[in-house]
Structure 1
Amino acid sequence: MDEKNVTVITVIFLLGFHIPSSITLLVFFLFLIFYFVTICGNLLIITLVSYSKDLHSPMYFLLSQLSVSDILLTTDVVPTMLHTVLENSTTVSVSECITQFYFFAATGSLELILLTVMSYDRYVAICKPLHYTMLMNHQFCWITVIISWSLSFLAVLIYTLTISTLQFCGPNIIDHFFCDLDPILQLSCSDTTIVQLEAMSLSVMFAVIPFFIIIVSYVYIVVTIFEIPSFTGRQKVFSTCSSHLTVVSIFYGTIVCVYLIPSRGQSWDITKFLSLLYTVFTPLLNPIIYSLRNKELKQVAGKISNSCLNLNVKNN
C-alpha cells in the first residue's frame, strides 16, 4: 500500500448496541444498576475480608484480589458502554481506544491467573490439608499476588506497545461497545503478523496453561472427594470449592466462545452478547455467587449489620 495515499485516522466511532430509541433509557438504567451493584458487591467483599479476622485466610485474601480485579475490569468497559447506549454511539481517539484495550486485557489476564491460584489453594486445602499452613502461608500469598499483578500488566503493556506502532487507516468504525483486539486490528493497514503472534503467546500464557492447571487441580480434588466415605463429608468438602468452580466455568466458558472458537460467520450481535457475559455479568455475579454459597462471609456480614444496628440503637 502506498503510504502517501493512506489517510491515518485519529478518531474511532464505537457503535455499541443497536437499541430502539423507545427502550434506550430502560437499557441505560439497567446497565447502570448492574454497574452500581457490581461495584458495591465487590467493595463489600473487600471490606469484609479486611474487617474480619475470621476471613484472614489465603482463600479470602485471593477472593478480595479477584474483587479488585473485577472492579477494574468493569470500570474500564462499562462507562464507555453506558455512553454508547445513551448516545447510540461514542467517539474515542485511537490512543484512548488502545488504552482501554490495555486495561481490559491486563485485568482479564489478572483474573485468569487469580482463578488459577485459587484453584491451587483449593487443591492444597482438600488434597493436602496437613501441609496447607506451610504451602499457603502469608508470604507465599503476597508473593503470588504481586507476581500476578506485575506479570499481567507488564506482559500486556509490551503487547499493547506493539499495537500502538501500527498504522490505522480505517474505516474508523468499530461495531462493538468497547475496544477489543479484533475490532482494533481490523482498522489497521499495517502488517499485524507480529501482533497476532504476540496475542497467541499471551493466550497460551494467561489462558491455556492456567486452564490446564485448573483442570488438573480439580481432577485431583474430585478423586480426593470420592475417597471420602460419607456422603455428608463429600458434600461438605465439595461446597468449599463449588463457588470457585462456578465462577471459573462462567468466565472461561464465555472467553472460549469469544476468542477460541472460530468466529467466521458469527454475527457481531452474538459476539457483543458473549462479551457482555465476562465484562459485565461475571464481575456482577462473582460477589453474589461467593456470598450466597459461603457461610463465613454471610456470618461476618451479619455480625457487621448487627453491630451497626446496635450502634444506631445506642445513639438513639
Structure 2
Amino acid sequence: ARTSMLGPNQTTVSEFILIGFSPFPQLQLLFFVLFLLMYLFTLLGNLLIMLTVWHERNLHKPMYFFLCTLSISEIAYTLAINPRMLADLISTHHTISLWGCANQMFFTFSCGLAHAFLLTIMGYDRYVAICHPLRYGVLMSSQGCAWLVASSWLSGIVMGLVITLPIFSLTFCGPNEIHHFFCQVPPLVKLACGDVSAVALGIGVVYIIVLLVCFLLILLSYIFIVATILKIPSAEGRHKAFSTCASHLIVVVIHYSFASVAHLKAKALEALEGDTLMGISYSVLTPFLSPIIFSLRNKELKDALKKVFLRNLCPSRL
C-alpha cells in the first residue's frame, strides 16, 4: 500500500487492505453466489414495494410513504457495502483508498441511522393511528410526514459525520489490514497510531445512545399501542388493529436483535472471523428479510402486490 512519511520511523497509510472473507478461501465462490442472489432479491423487493405504493392509490397513506422511504434507505445502505463485498469475493485486489474507506463509512452510518430513525417514526405513526385515530389526519398530514422523513435523513447524515470525521482525523501508521469486508470502526481504530481509546469510547457511546433512544421510543409507542388494543372489545377488532403494525414490529425486533448481537457481542465472538460473520447479519441478512416481512405480513400491501403482478403479467385475468 502507498504510504507517506510521518517521521523518522513512521509512515502514514493511504490505502487499506480489506481482509474480508480471506479466512474462508474454500467458501468464497459459494458466498459470492449466495450473497449476490440475496442482494439482487433485496434490491428487487424494495423496488417492487416502492413501485407498488407509487401506482396503487389506496396505498397513498403515511404508513406506506414511510415504508417507501425505508426501502430507499435499505437500498442506499446495501449499495454502500454489498457491491464492494461481492467484487472482493471474486477478486485478488482488495485495497481501498483512505478516501474511499471514509466515504463508505459515512454512507453506511448515515443510511443505517436514518433507517433506525425511520423505524422510530413508523412506530409513532402506528401509535397515532391506533391510539388517536380521530386526530390521525391532522397529526400525520402530508407536510408533517415530509418533515419527519427529512429530519430522519438529516439526522442520519449529521450522525454519519459525527462518527466518521473523528475516525479519519486520526493518523494510521500501519499495519494497513482491515479485518472486515467493509470499513468499520473497531478494526480501523486498531490501526490508528497512539492511544485512541477516548475517540473509540466516545463514538461507541454516541452510537449506542442513538440506537437506544430510538429503541426506547419504539418500545414506548408499543406499550401505548398494546394498552389501547387490549381495550378493544371484539377479538376481530384487536386482531385487525394489531395486524396493521405486526410487520413493523417484526422488522424492529430483527433489526435490533442483530444490532445488539453485533455491537454488544460476547468475548467468545470477538475473533476476526466472528466479526466478519456477524457483519453479514446486518449488512446482508436484515436487508434481505425486511421486504419479505413487509410484503407477507401486511395484507393491504400483499393484495396490492398481487394486483400489480396480475396487471403486468396476466392482464386477461383482470
Q: Same fold (TM over 0.5)?
A: yes
2:157 aligns to what? 153
2:13 alignment partner AA: I
Question: Where does the alignment leave 5 or more consecutive residues of structure 1 unmatched?
Answer: none
Q: Give 1:222's match in structure 2, choosing from 217, 221, 226.
A: 226
Question: Where does the alignment leave 5 or more consecutive residues of structure 2 unmatched?
Answer: 1-5
2:237 aligns to what? 233
In the aligned structure 1, how far is the partner of 2:172 from the partner of 2:203? 19
Residue 254 of structure 1 contacts residue 275 of structure 1 at CA under 8 Å; is this kept in 2? no
1:45 alignment partner AA: I
Work out the percentage of aligned pairs sharing the same amino acid.
40
1:47 aligns to what? 51
Q: Could you say if the C-alpha distance between residues 265 and 304 of structure 1 is closer, same or farther in structure 2, counting changes exceeding 3 Å?
A: closer
Superposed CA offset, 1:240-261 (max 9, x none)? 1111111001111111112234
1:260 aligns to what? 264
Q: Give 1:273's match in structure 2, choosing from 273, 277, 300.
A: 277
1:179 aligns to what? 183
1:302 aligns to what? 306
- Deviation, 1:33, is 0.8
Q: Does 1:203 align with 2:208?
A: yes
Q: Could you say if the C-alpha distance between residues 172 and 260 of structure 1 is closer, same or farther in structure 2, counting changes exceeding 3 Å?
A: same
Residue 78 of structure 2 contacts residue 283 of structure 2 at CA under 8 Å; is this kept in 1? yes
- Deviation, 1:309, is 3.8
Q: Give 2:84's match in structure 1, choosing from 80, 83, 95.
A: 80
Question: Aligned with 1:12: secondary structure?
Answer: strand
Residue 81 of structure 2 contacts residue 283 of structure 2 at CA under 8 Å; is this kept in 1? yes
Farther-moved stretch of structure 1 (247-256 vs 269-278): 269-278
- Deviation, 1:19, is 5.9
- Deviation, 1:55, is 0.8
- Deviation, 1:107, is 0.8
2:38 aligns to what? 34
Residue 168 of structure 1 contacts residue 190 of structure 1 at CA under 8 Å; is this kept in 2? no
Superposed CA offset, 1:265-315 (max 9, x none)? 6223222222211111111111110101112112222222232246589xx
- Deviation, 1:81, is 1.3
Q: Does 1:16 align with 2:3?
A: no
Q: Give 2:192's match in structure 1, choosing from 188, 191, 196.
A: 188
Aligned residues: 312
In the aligned structure 1, how far is the partner of 2:200 from the partner of 2:72? 28
Question: Aligned with 1:4: secondary structure?
Answer: coil
Q: Give 2:172's match in structure 1, choosing from 159, 168, 174.
A: 168
In the aligned structure 2, how far is the partner of 1:212 from the partner of 1:194? 26
- Deviation, 1:108, is 0.8
CA RMSD, Structure 1 to Structure 2 (Å):
2.2
Q: Could you say if the C-alpha distance between residues 232 and 106 of structure 1 is closer, same or farther in structure 2, counting changes exceeding 3 Å?
A: same
1:251 aligns to what? 255
- Deviation, 1:181, is 0.7
Residue 129 of structure 2 contacts residue 136 of structure 2 at CA under 8 Å; is this kept in 1? yes
State the 4+ residue runs in structure 1 displaced beyond 6 angstroms.
none
Q: Give 1:58's match in structure 2, choosing from 51, 62, 71.
A: 62
Question: Aligned with 2:11: secondary structure?
Answer: coil
1:100 aligns to what? 104
Q: Could you say if the C-alpha distance between residues 309 and 87 of structure 1 is closer, same or farther in structure 2, counting changes exceeding 3 Å?
A: closer
Farther-moved stretch of structure 1 (275-284 vs 259-268): 259-268
Farther-moved stretch of structure 1 (82-91 vs 44-53): 82-91
- Deviation, 1:27, is 2.0
Farther-moved stretch of structure 1 (112-121 vs 13-22): 13-22
